[in-house]
Amino acid sequence: MVRFTTKKIDSMTLGERMKKLRDDRRLSLNEVSKHTRVQSKYLEYLEKGLYSKLPPEVYVKGFLRNYATFMGINEGVLLKQYEREKKIQQNINKNEKNEGKQKPINFSSFVVTPRIMAVLVGFLLLIGGFFYLYSEVNSFISTPRLVILKPASGVTIDGRNVRVSGVAEKNSKIFINEQPIVVNEKGEFSEDVGLQEGLNTITVKAKNKFDKETSQTINVNANYQKNVQTETVENINLEKEESNGEFELELFIGITPTWVSVETDGNLMYSGVLVPQAAQKFKAKEKISITSGKGNDTYIKLDGKEKEILSAEPGVVRDIVFTPNGRAL
């Protein structure tokens, strides 16, 4: 008959074992700390099984060796029990973390139905409509942006015209001295403006689609004396040009600033706003073509002859052609 012997299983944890050893010897934590050179708080953590609060493992094993030597027991027993309990504690903590994590949502089973699609499209349209309405309201209540880059107000120009350039709010209409000018898609504009001798006032205005306006006024002094030649030199040049078969046309504006465009022999020579009393001279061999925003307020003088009106039309007239023989029919 086979006989089995009953073996008593030690169910104490490492902490319980260490506390029992200390209690049996009637020692306090401070006394054990003094003899083992292990801080009392670490001894307390070991007795309570708070391994996560202990320093790295290499130090803990050193604590246990000193502790075993002081208590007169086998250090291997303490070290093995510490390693075993630490692994168990790490596994428990790992499982708790995994359980705490949310299960990722699987979108593979998500089906886009026509109803969901319609709701999504409606939502996007609603957001787009809101932003469009906001921009429209903002444009309605605010005046358009306008910045004149050049010339600076008060500048003196040695010539008969000046280039006015700047930038305005996109989709705005720009007027220089009440004459509309071309603006590119970025809101930039640049236009030549004719000047009369002395002080000239140039008004630039930006108008949005709600008729909100922003205007700026600049003053420009024109000095013809530094830019014109003496009468003798002009006569000499005139004789040379006549010998070359060229004719001359002088352009005037009557009462209000007017936009004009002039081509000589097929080449664009001028496009801008002319102010009253600001004359411009052009020369060509074959023809000079004039387009004006106000035909009945634009005047020409051909080769020094009598001044005549460009057209009886009060509005825009296009491509009025002059040749050495006069107005082309």
Tell me, what's the pLDDT at 290?
A: 93
Tell me, what's the pLDDT at 130?
A: 65
Q: Which helix (H) or strand (E) holds 179?
A: strand 179-181
The DSSP line for 235-280 is HHHHHHHHHTT-EEEEEEE-SS-EEEEEEETTEEEEEEEE-TT--E
Residue 31's contacts (CB-CB under 8 Å, 6 or more residues apart) are none
Tell me, what's the pLDDT at 243?
A: 47
Tell me, what's the pLDDT at 91?
A: 84
Tell me, what's the pLDDT at 217?
A: 92
pLDDT digits (tens, 9 = 90+) for 224-248: 765 544 444 555 455 544 546 789 9
- Supply the pTM of this predicted model: 0.40
Residue 160: both structure tokens together: 């008969």
Question: Phi-psi region for residue 207, left (φ > 0), alpha (ψ -120 to 50) or beta?
Answer: beta
Q: Which CATH architecture has domain 14-95?
A: Orthogonal Bundle (1.10)
Tell me, what's the pLDDT at 279?
A: 76
pLDDT digits (tens, 9 = 90+) for 274-286: 887 667 889 999 9
Residue 67: both structure tokens together: 């502790």
Q: Domain ranges in the chain? A: 14-95, 146-222, 231-327
Residue 207's contacts (CB-CB under 8 Å, 6 or more residues apart) are 144, 172, 173, 175, 213
Tell me, what's the pLDDT at 7?
A: 46
Q: Which fold has domain 146-222?
A: Immunoglobulin-like (2.60.40)
CA distance 260 to 250: 13
Residue 225's φ and ψ, nearest 5 degrees, are -60, -35
Residue 94: both structure tokens together: 């790992």
Which residues in the chain show pLDDT less than 70?
A: 1-10, 97-111, 130-141, 225-244, 277-278
Is 146-222 in the same CATH topology as 14-95? no
Residue 38's contacts (CB-CB under 8 Å, 6 or more residues apart) are 32, 63, 66, 67
